[in-house]
Amino acid sequence: MMMLSASVKRDFFRGTNTERLIISALEKPEKHQPATATQMQCNCSCSIGPFPSPYWSRTVLFPDWAYKPAWSPGSRQVQLWHFLLELLGRGESGPIGWGGEWGEFVIRDPERLARLWGERKGKPQMNYDKLSRALRYYYNKRILHKTKGKRFTYKFNFSKLVLVNYPGHPPGHQVVQSAPLPFPVFPSDGGVTRVCGGGGPLIDRALQSVTYPLLLPYLLPKPFPFPHSHPVLGHFPCLSVPSPHGSSYPNLKELPAGIPPTTTAALHLTPNAWATKSGKEWGLNRRGAGTVGTGYLE
């Protein structure tokens, strides 16, 4: 399936409503194609073993529900945060790259980023001023946060990533902090596979205290030896994400020693340690538990 078009791949993975995954547009590979296979490879070891295919490593998958529903106008259009993750997943050579902190990214070339975004959306007049306005709208949604003082630097709130309303989730079941998330929580106790499905605080601890490259398995193609018993874990593949120091570790087992100790302080980080505004300020009343839209917890 080397030469399959994006749409063919999409069809390939079309399963049930719940299992369907969609490829986030990579139909326009950049010229400066980058990053060695080693760098790009997803070697997520979360119970499913390494992810050997370069194909996967270069492809960002998003679950179907992360896109606009089919019935909406401009159906299934890429959202800005998809696009950002896509670029970030393509190595450090693009207009944006991961920053110093977990989830933080820096826009190295704002106008170029805007140009690419404009191309993707068919908005030739796009510029950084407009794009940044879109980013600012993410603040209230708690998808992004500005890293104050650092120019062109924003931060993803990964602790809120994906899940609410995941198809199969009991409708009306508001998942706030206690819900299991599809990320591996490692390494700490039990080794790398002890994961996928810890508690909220545990997740937050993992996500916010981590200072080494981490693989987010929130996008997985289906055919994996995951026990299907879990409503969520069976559906999420791996996406390589923040590599703060531009380096990548080929295997989780080779993670450097001196992983940040899990301190009590870290453990008790608020679910939104970075979120300093109150719920009201964040506009929390705007949505009910049932909406999805972004794929982020709200």
Where on the chain is the footprint of DNA (CB under 7 A)?
A: 68, 73-74, 79-81, 110, 117-118, 121, 123, 125-126, 128-134, 136-137, 139, 141, 146, 148, 150-153, 291, 293-294
By C-alpha distance, which of 149, 179, 147 is closest to 162? 179
Quote the least distance from Cβ 104 to DNA, whole Å. 12
Quote the least distance from Cβ 280 to DNA, whole Å. 12
Could you give the CA distance from residue 251 to residue 249 in angstroms, rounded to a whole number? 5
Contacts of 296 (CB under 8 A, 6+ apart): 81, 141, 142, 143, 157, 160, 161, 162, 164
Closest CB to DNA among 32 and 286? 286
Closest CB to DNA among 43 and 157? 157
Contacts of 239 (CB under 8 A, 6+ apart): 42, 60, 61, 85, 89, 215, 216, 217, 218, 219
Quote the least distance from Cβ 189 to DNA, whole Å. 37
Could you give the CA distance from residue 159 to residue 288 in angstroms, rounded to a whole number? 19
Closest CB to DNA among 61 and 126? 126
Closest CB to DNA among 145 and 205? 145
Q: DSSP character for 129?
A: H
- Quote the distance between the C-alpha of residue 37 and its chain's center: 20
The CA radius of gyration of the chain, in Å to the nearest whole number, is 18
Quote the least distance from Cβ 73 to DNA, whole Å. 5
Quote the least distance from Cβ 245 to DNA, whole Å. 22
H/E stretch holding 163 reads: none
Closest CB to DNA among 20 and 277? 277
Closest CB to DNA among 11 and 281? 281
Quote the least distance from Cβ 214 to DNA, whole Å. 24
